[in-house]
């Protein structure tokens, strides 16, 4: 399906607009404390920017920017970040995922330690959602072959 086609305007506009979409996705993740948004939505927006590249160019262009091995590492890195923050709280002496105890290793008080714990968790969710959405799209759109597709 995803094959290289001749469209100068589409290619140029997609390549020009992709960094702004990624910047907006990072803003949504980082600003989730103050406005609607969070890890899930920001991860989806970050994945949508690379899906746009896959639709405008081909799959090789996406794999040049984010290789499959790195994408698979990102898939599990998010879950590891999430569970690791919970385990850090457990090691420091509180319950699992009780971020208030993080003030022992961070230079802030307990309430702001909870805020920073929420931020770390959102970053983990964003990693996992971005990598999984890109992986599912590439697998579905190319039938698992990960090449630009057969000619039809």
Partner 1 sequence: MRFLTFISILMTTALLAYATLDMPDFGDPSSPASTHVSPVYIQEAYEKTATPNIVTAVLADYRSYDTLGETVVIFTAGVVCMMLLRREK
Partner 2 sequence: MIWQLDIILLIIVVICALAAISVKDLLSSAILFGAYSFLLCLVWAEMGAVDVAFTEATVGAGISTAFFIGAIYHTSRRTKD
Partner touching 114 among partner 2, partner 1, none, CB below 5 to 8 Å by kind: partner 1
Burial of 107 (0-12, 13-18, 19+ CB in 10 A): exposed
119 near partner 2, rule: CB under 8 A: no
* Residues 50-69 as x/- pattern, contact with partner 1 by CB under 8 A: --------------------
Nearest distance, CB of residue 118 and partner 1, angstroms: 4
User: Which 93-112 positions form the footprint of partner 2 (CB under 8 A)?
Assistant: none
Distance CA 84, CA 110 (A): 19
Among 17, 1, 43, smallest CA distance to 9 is for 17
3-class DSSP assignment, residue 46: helix
Nearest distance, CB of residue 108 and partner 1, angstroms: 9
Is residue 20 within a helix (H) or strand (E), and if so which, with residue range?
Answer: helix 8-30
Q: Are 66 and 134 in contact (CB under 8 A)?
A: yes
Among 152, 145, 144, 141, smallest CA distance to 57 is for 141
> Which positions lie near partner 1, rule CB under 8 A?
32-36, 38, 40, 72, 75-76, 78-79, 82-83, 86, 97, 99-100, 111-112, 114-115, 117-118, 121-122, 124-125, 128-129, 131-132, 135-136, 139-140, 143-146
> Which positions lie near partner 2, rule CB under 8 A?
1, 36-38, 40-41, 44-45, 47-48, 51, 55, 133, 136-137, 140-141, 143
């Amino acid at each position: 399906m995803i094959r290289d086609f001749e469209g100068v305007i589409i290619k140029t506009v997609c390549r020009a607009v992709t960094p702004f979409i990624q910047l907006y996705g990072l803003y949504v993740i980082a600003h989730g404390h103050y406005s609607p948004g969070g890890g899930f939505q920001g991860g989806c927006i970050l994945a949508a920017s690379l899906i746009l590249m896959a639709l405008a160019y081909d799959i090789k262009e996406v794999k040049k920017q984010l290789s499959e091995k790195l994408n698979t590492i990102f898939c599990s890195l998010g879950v590891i970040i999430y569970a690791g923050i919970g385990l850090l709280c457990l090691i420091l002496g509180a319950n699992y995922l009780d971020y208030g105890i993080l003030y022992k290793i961070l230079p802030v008080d307990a309430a702001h330690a909870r805020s920073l714990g929420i931020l770390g968790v959102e970053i983990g969710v964003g990693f996992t959602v971005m990598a999984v959405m890109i992986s599912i799209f590439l697998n579905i759109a190319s039938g698992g072959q990960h090449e630009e597709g057969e000619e039809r």
